[in-house]
Structure 1
Amino acid sequence: MTSDRAIDPRVPPSGAGCAECDAAGGWWFHLRRCAQCGHVGCCDSSPGQHATAHFRAFGHPVVRSYEPGEAWFWNYATDEMYESGPDLAPPVSHPADQPSPGPAERVPENWAERLRR
């Protein structure tokens, strides 16, 4: 998948939602968790694209889906997807009762029109 330094299975996620969207009062479509430091950011379809921005800023190449029921990994450096990988520190997804897109109170009515494609 990548070097051992790109994944630290002991590090917990930074929170239940995208750190930057939460700080700015924004919303996200789906969430990704940095496998190296635990930063939770939003996916590339989300307005903020904070998971990719985290990779560009810090060079942490591997993320894991932070969606319930998904266990795949993505390597930004190689543009490769892996159906599975090492177990990461819990929790492995945002809370099951947190909707996608989310958080519910901040998602605009026209959210589907605002997704990046």
Structure 2
Amino acid sequence: MIPESAFSPLVPPSGTGCVECDAAGGWWVHLRRCVLCGHIGCCDDSLAKHATAHAKAAGHPVIRSFEPDETWFWNYDTSEYFETGPELAPPQSHPVDQSVPGPASRVPADWEDLLGAP
């Protein structure tokens, strides 16, 4: 169970993309949402791993997938996975038409090589 002190159901997401990647003109693979402050960061499959960095720096250990049709949660402190969790302020994911990886205009042609994909 996700502790009530670990999430805020009224806080909307910070945007539709990774905050730090957007600021730097970067790109991401998948997005994660901090369930306490709404920060959107990129996943650990992304080069920058901003969601994990935010969790550690801010002390906000619980994230939710910010991908369409995904409702799972992860607690970095306990390494626990949850299929479902508390209802959060909308939207629940980035726009369905947003590319993955994204944003499309910033994803390099050799993105799979950069990530070390086989």
Which range, TM-score by smaller chain? over 0.9
CA deviation vs aligned residue, 1:1-20 (integer Å, no higher than 9, x gap): 23211111110000000000
Q: Match for 1:69: what amino acid?
A: D
Letter in 1 for 2:96: A
**Distance (Å, rounded) in 2 between the aligned partners of 1:116 and 1:28:** 14
The answer (yes or no) to whether the contact 1:45–1:116 under 8 Å persists in 2 is no
- Provide the rounded CA distance (Å) in 1 between the counterparts of 2:17 and 2:116: 19
- Quote the residue 2:107 is aligned against: 107
Alignment of 1:5-84 (within 5 A): 5-84=5-84
Give the SS at the match of 1:37: coil
Change (3 A) 1:95 1:86: same
Moved beyond 4 Å, runs of 4+: none
CA RMSD after TM alignment: 1.1
SS at the partner of 2:97? coil
Q: How does the TM-score come out when normalised to structure 2?
A: 0.96
Which whole-Å CA distance do the structure 1 matches of 2:23 and 2:5 have between them?
A: 28
Contact 1:47 1:116 in 2 (8 A): no
CA contact (8 A) 2:2 2:85 kept: no
Identical counterparts, % of pairs: 64
Partners of 1:40 and 1:116 lie apart in 2 by 24
Counterpart amino acid of 2:93?
A: S
1:88 equivalent in structure 2: 88
Gaps of 5+ in 2: none
Q: CA deviation at 1:116?
A: 6.3
Quote how far apart the aligned CAs of 1:92 are.
0.2
Deviation at 1:47, TM superposition (A): 0.7
| Cα distance in 1 between the residues matched to 2:94 and 2:15 | 8
Distance 1:79 1:10 in 2: 25
Aligned-pair distance for 1:73? 0.2
How many positions carry a matched residue from both structures? Answer: 117
